[in-house]
Amino acid sequence: MDKSVRFIKSKTKFRPKIAVILGSGLGDFAETLSDKKIIGTSSIPNYPRSTVVGHKGKIIFGKLGKIQLMVFQGRVHYYETGSIETILYPIRIAHALGIKILLVTNAAGGVNSTFKPGDIMLIEDQINLTFENPLKGIAPPIHHTQLYEPSLQNLIRNVAKKKKIALRSGIYCGIKGPSYETAAEIKMIRNFGADAVGMSTVNEVSLAVSLGIKVAGLSCITNLSTGILNQKLSHQEVTEVANMVKHVFSELIAGFIQKIGKVYLLTFQ
């Protein structure tokens, strides 16, 4: 960890307080930043490697207006490595670099039958069905009342309303993958109360909050899950739909970050 952090600090003078994790097919937001410094994660000592299409494996430091950002262009999934620590490593890096606010994004399957591909869902809460414990070894034990910061959720809602972006809200369920769920599993997940399902996010968020980082989350609904529509699912479909809505998604993220700049950043000085 120390080697990773030292390497990153040697590559940029930026010390942002806000980080964004960009999920499958959603990496283009990073291209809107100015004064960019791009660091390939393959060059960072000890940093886990991303192997999935749509995850570019880059950390980008840059500015949105006057606001400095750290953007993870892609993430590592549990099914790529079989290690919970590789999923959590970027969060530990972000914390060590002084990140105070984290926006997580992902591509997800719609479990709520009223959703449609291309919808954007504000994550209000989560269900962890990975059966992994990201807080193992953390003492004293952390008791969460709200993982996703309500004030940040309200900022996103306000931005969406102002920009006339349709915004769903719901519960995200995280599983290990890499296989898609069966129709029976989707029925179970729906009965548990989830509105969307994916293969990331839940462990990252739990650790980030336990470290004192305020978290907000957005899912791009790229497909409806097995049993809701009678069609095959594929990762290609996921990235194609994400690409279709990437401009609206980026607009929402940018508006949210600009709002944070006005509401939060003075508290970090």
Q: How far apart are CA 132 and CA 84, in angstroms?
A: 7
- Residue 247 designated active-site: no
Say how far residue 104 (Cα) sits from the centre of its chain.
2
**Rounded (to 5) percent helix, strand, coil in the chain:** 35, 25, 35
Decide if pLDDT at 180 tops 70: yes
Question: Residue 234: pLDDT band by 50, 70, 90 thresholds?
Answer: low
The rounded distance, in Å, linking the Cα atoms of 177 and 52 is 12
Options 107, 108, 194, 208, the catalytic residue: 107
Q: Can you give the pTM of this predicted structure?
A: 0.91
Tell me which of 136 and 241 has the higher pLDDT: 136
Say if residue 230's pLDDT is above 70. Answer: no
In angstroms, the CA 95 to CA 99 distance is 5
Strands 58-64 and 34-40 turn out to be antiparallel
Q: How far is CA 108 from CA 27, 72, 95, in A?
A: 15, 18, 26
Q: Can 80 be counted among the known catalytic residues?
A: yes
State yes or no: is 24 an active-site residue: yes
Polymer length of the chain: 269
The catalytic residue among 4, 24, 203, 219 is 24
132 is an active site residue: no
Q: Which amino acid is at 265?
A: L
**Catalytic residue among 47, 77, 172, 210, which?**
77
In the residue annotation, 79 being an active-site residue is answered as: yes
Q: What CATH number labels 2-264?
A: 3.40.50.1580
Known catalytic residue at 235? yes
Instruction: Look up 95 and say whether it is catalytic.
Output: no
Is residue 9 classed as helix, strand or coil in its secondary structure?
helix
Check if 107 is active-site. yes
Q: From the candidates 4, 19, 47, 55, which is the catalytic residue?
A: 55
2 vs 244, higher pLDDT: 2
Please confirm, yes or no, whether 210 is among the known catalytic residues. no
